[in-house]
Amino acid sequence: MSALYGTYARSDLAFERGEGMRLFTADGTSYLDFNSGIGVNALGYGDPHVVGALKAAADKVWHTSNIFTIPEQERLAQRLVDATFADAVFFTNSGAEAVECAIKTARHHFFARGEVDRYEIIAFTGSFHGRTMATIAAGGNPHYTEGFGPVVPGFKHLAPGDLAAVEKLIDAKTCAILLEPVQGEGGVSAMPVEFLKGLRALCDKHGLLLILDEVQCGYGRTGKFFAHEWAGITPDIMAVAKGIGGGFPLGACLAGGHVADSMVPGTHGSTYGGNPLACSVGNAVLDRVLGPGFIANVDLMGQRLAWHLQQLQQRFPNYVTEVRGKGLIAGIKITPPVRDFVNRLRRDHHLLAVAAGENVLRLLPPLIVTEADIEEATGKIADAFTALDAEAASTPAID
């Protein structure tokens, strides 16, 4: 009996070490990792540059406080500003906190302009923004809000895709539109470029802020540094986490200067956010992600993964009904129950994957994945479908 909260349907499997794309149990059994700690371990396991940075940081000051200057934090922020639309960064320990900061920044921007009633955010069904009180409200999934008291007010939801319907929801209280350019947990759906462009145009027309949650789809995963780059648009505020720390708890809220300027002393804070250890690792991860050819290779591997998944669909049309995603946030909508199928892949084929909404098998390999790894993973999925076929054939039909 575990002493932990029972909030997870945990597997008994425990890993002792990792190397590149693979995790190993104490008895040495190897698992191919297309889960990467749910999109976190962007560089896989044991990247020498990142491990070296963490070890070096361990010999220095681990933690001070944000009341002191943290040189590694200043440097990481400047590099993120140089590489993106943003002018200013607030560091957090998680994705939900990055989204919280984004929500607070948007609301406070209008408050500081005297528009105190302008606090409502339009968000989308099928989204996921974290598990804090405000981010479950933003996600709007009743499964996550039920039983936790009054839902934080100020969020309206509709299905993504219909710009006219979005515009109808905009009123004098609306301050921002919030979405994931690629919905991860909801079912790996990439928002169409025209929808993203249209939302940017709606925000410009109505004086709203565009907030993007790139916690899962950002940091190189789609084959651009950030997924919105595919649409040629920029947000006003963006939440980042997961890949940014390569496994060290780190997140960030990035904002344009016209928005960040209302976040003056006292408006927001975090004890740990952006501490020296976290930012030393963050800088090392960024060295790798922005290194020559890294993101271009993610783009190439994303295309190879999509191709191999299409092959799977052709070969097993009764099991695979759709190929989804962008780059290395990919998925297949399958007919067998996805949670059972993820367990089967792990148990019988030593492949780690993730379930997503709409019965989608989600694949989030470390960004260092090779085509040989992709062939191995899709081969394992094919083996699992073949095993399902064999089981169906040997099970007598029930009349």
- Minimum CB–partner distance for residue 180 and ligand PLP (Å): 5
Of 215 and 330, nearer to ligand PLP (C-beta) is 215
Of 128 and 319, nearer to ligand PLP (C-beta) is 128
Which residue among 37, 44, 95, 302 contacts ligand PLP (CB under 6 A)? Answer: 95
Of 134 and 332, nearer to ligand PLP (C-beta) is 134
Q: Hey, how many other C-beta atoms are within 10 angstroms of the C-beta on 284?
A: 26
User: Per rule CB under 6 A, is residue 282 in the interface with ligand PLP?
Assistant: no
DSSP string, 32-78: EESSHHHHT-TT-B--HHHHHHHHHHHTS-----TTS--HHHHHHHH
Of 218 and 302, nearer to ligand PLP (C-beta) is 218
Decide if 242 is catalytic: yes
AA identity, residue 268: H
Of 95 and 160, nearer to ligand PLP (C-beta) is 95
Q: Which two tokens stand for residue 95?
A: 């994705």
Best CA proximity match to 192, nearest among 294, 244, 124:
124
- Which residue reads 């993504």 in tokens? 160
Q: Exactly one of 33, 47, 213, 236 is catalytic; name it.
A: 213
- Span near ligand PLP by CB under 6 A; candidates 55-63, 95-103, 304-312, 340-348: 95-103
- Span near ligand PLP by CB under 6 A; candidates 56-64, 193-201, 212-220, 345-353: 212-220
Q: What are the residues whose beta carbons fall under 8 Å from the beta carbon of 341, sequence distance 6 or more?
A: 334, 355, 361, 384
- Span near ligand PLP by CB under 6 A; candidates 5-13, 125-133, 171-179, 204-212: 125-133
User: Per rule CB under 6 A, is residue 227 in the interface with ligand PLP?
Assistant: no
User: Per rule CB under 6 A, is residue 180 in the interface with ligand PLP?
Assistant: yes
Q: What are the residues whose beta carbons fall under 8 Å from the beta carbon of 226, sequence distance 6 or more?
A: 84, 181, 212, 214, 218, 219, 238
- Span near ligand PLP by CB under 6 A; candidates 179-187, 313-321, 354-362, 381-389: 179-187
Q: Which two tokens stand for residue 96?
A: 């939900």
Burial 192-209 (b: 16+ CB within 10 A, else e): eeebbebbbebbeeeebb
Of 187 and 312, nearer to ligand PLP (C-beta) is 187
Residues of this chain, 241-260, that bind ligand PLP according to CB under 6 A: 241-242
Decide if 128 is catalytic: yes
CA distances from 133 to 100, 145, 189, 284 (A): 9, 8, 25, 32
Burial class of residue 31 (count of CB atoms within 10 Å of its CB; 0-12, 13-18, 19+): buried
User: Per rule CB under 6 A, is residue 175 in the interface with ligand PLP?
Assistant: no
User: Per rule CB under 6 A, is residue 94 in the interface with ligand PLP?
Assistant: yes
User: Do strands 120-124 and 155-158 pair parallel, antiparallel, or not at all (unpaired)?
Assistant: parallel
Site residues (vs ligand PLP, CB under 6 A): 94-96, 99, 128-130, 180, 184-185, 213, 215-216, 241-242
Residues annotated as catalytic are 128, 213, 242
